[in-house]
Structure 1
């Protein structure tokens, strides 16, 4: 594994590898807006948003595993930058949790579209996403449907939605 140039408690130690230094800068920039008290900590509930802002898309279970790695021995509800930085540096260096490609996403929708009609109804997608696999919450479902459902047709035109969902198109 590549040397990260950082140990727990050494978040301000200079890093000689320019790539690692750039990764640390990106992580600090993603962490900072969530560090409300400027004390090097963020609420544990914000970690998923930070990770996703860095272009990584782990499942909720994978985020849970990552949290276990960086949580204090006695959980406080907060994550310290000095623990988050080396873990997230490794994740970024290893290019873990990369988003699915456009074609992979379309293929996933096509599996659900058994009639090959190039769209799904909100009811179909709710059934799949709230009853199968890693279940969505009602709030997550409502948020996704507000972006996914074509207002005129009342269906999810999944090719259009996949293009909209791609990380480079999400604002």
Structure 2
């Protein structure tokens, strides 16, 4: 921006009092945003805090993180768990350890979902005959034997949502639109 620009001139013309007020407003806005993020994290965490003791089973962390609109791969999920787990792993994660890490993840917009068009392209690559669907055996083979393989539990969870119960096929266009969420940011 040149010296005569409105924005450049605007900042130079501000008094120290105005700059201080602007900083204060920005700090207030930041606190409000962080407060909202904390509420979302607490609500997601509380769903899995069955004992109401501010702890959840470590195996639920991936589900909690995904419910907050973040989609880490298995390696990234293990890194997050390692960061929040106690020095001596107990199998449980405490809320006070989870909150700062998850706040940072959400504020930095990490682990964002894959866009719908890219996910659809990935399924289309698997559908070599361009049928518009995949068969159970076909998808299971790809998901458990290629790349970063799904566990049996992950496969069952995905198939329960993906498979058309009447035809025993995965109509991936429907599944992709069901899986993707618009990123409001």
Query: Normalising by the residue count of structure 1, what TM-score does the alignment of the two structures yield?
Result: 0.80
Specify which of 26, 35, 41 is matched with residue 49 of structure 2. Answer: 35
Matched, 1:53 2:97: no
1:114-144 C-alpha deviation (Å, 9 max, x unpaired): 2223222212111100101221223332333
CA RMSD of aligned residues (A): 2.1
Partner of 1:131: 145
Structure 2 unaligned blocks of 5 or more: 1-29
Matched, 1:77 2:81: no
For the residue of structure 2 that corresponds to 1:17, the secondary structure is: helix
The alpha-carbon distance between structure 1 residues 29 and 112, as it changes in their structure 2 partners (threshold 3 A), is same
The alpha-carbon distance between structure 1 residues 42 and 138, as it changes in their structure 2 partners (threshold 3 A), is closer
The alpha-carbon distance between structure 1 residues 33 and 149, as it changes in their structure 2 partners (threshold 3 A), is closer
Partner of 1:99: 113
Q: Structure 2: how far apart are the matches of 1:50 and 1:160?
A: 24
For the residue of structure 1 that corresponds to 2:88, the secondary structure is: coil
The alpha-carbon distance between structure 1 residues 148 and 43, as it changes in their structure 2 partners (threshold 3 A), is closer
Query: How many residues are aligned here?
Result: 154
Structure 1 unaligned blocks of 5 or more: 1-15
Q: Structure 2: how far apart are the matches of 1:71 and 1:137?
A: 22
Bigger Rg over Cα: 2
For the residue of structure 1 that corresponds to 2:170, the secondary structure is: coil
Matched, 1:62 2:98: no
Partner of 1:122: 136
Q: Structure 2: how far apart are the matches of 1:88 and 1:148?
A: 28
Greater relative CO, 1 or 2 (CA 8 Å, sep 6+)? 1
For the residue of structure 2 that corresponds to 1:98, the secondary structure is: coil
